[in-house]
Structure 1
């Protein structure tokens, strides 16, 4: 099974098929980058708040919130795509038992 974003589910090497999903599914990279920039914007907001620049702190916090929400939405959408891909794969391979629910 090739390690490509087109087949991001690990069907054979682990007992949990979503293990390492972020590393194998490179389509989540933009979402991870958005979250990283959001963390930096949050740090900037805290710095601006500490030096007393309230307007700049509010703007940076708003940017951090927007970028964090966009990044989380991107990652969630990609995870749902991976889940749909696994459901199609399990339908095509009925002899393979599905993973038990994680929890």
Structure 2
């Protein structure tokens, strides 16, 4: 089968688009970590607001917003890179029925 570590799409095991993209594509890790930090920071900020720590709550919710935006942007750009590579792979590896074009992404 060869080395497929540079190809983020697992063509050999599935026909579904982007199945397992988060697991196979290591470039998603910083985005996933950023979103996770955003969730944790949001919960800490809400707990700080509930206990009366307004300044700590504002800081944590602000950090949460930045982490969500940064993580989401990273995931968006990584997904676009995967889609671009997917279209390049479809161009280099034509199917037997050549009149079938690459499917649009479902995600």
**Alpha-carbon shift at residue 82 of structure 1 (Å):** 0.3
Number of corresponding residues: 102
In structure 2, the partner of 1:52 is 52
1:102 corresponds to 2:75: no
In structure 2, the partner of 1:91 is 91
In structure 1, the partner of 2:82 is 82
**Alpha-carbon shift at residue 3 of structure 1 (Å):** 4.7
Q: Residues 3 and 24 of structure 1 are in contact (CA less than 8 Å); yes or no, is this contact kept in structure 2?
A: no
Q: Residues 31 and 70 of structure 2 are in contact (CA less than 8 Å); yes or no, is this contact kept in structure 1?
A: yes
RMSD across aligned C-alpha pairs, in angstroms?
1.8
Quickly say closer, same or farther: Cα 1:60–1:52, change in 2 above 3 A.
Answer: same
Runs of 4+ in 1 over 3 A off after TM superposition: none
1 CA distance for matches of 2:43 and 2:34? 14
In structure 2, the partner of 1:27 is 27
SS in 1 for 2:39: helix
SS in 2 for 1:95: coil
Q: How does 1:55-70 map to 2 (within 5 A)?
A: 55-70=55-70
Unmatched segments (≥5 aa) in structure 1: none
TM-score w.r.t. length of structure 1: 0.89
Q: Residues 16 and 99 of structure 1 are in contact (CA less than 8 Å); yes or no, is this contact kept in structure 2?
A: no
1 CA distance for matches of 2:105 and 2:72? 22
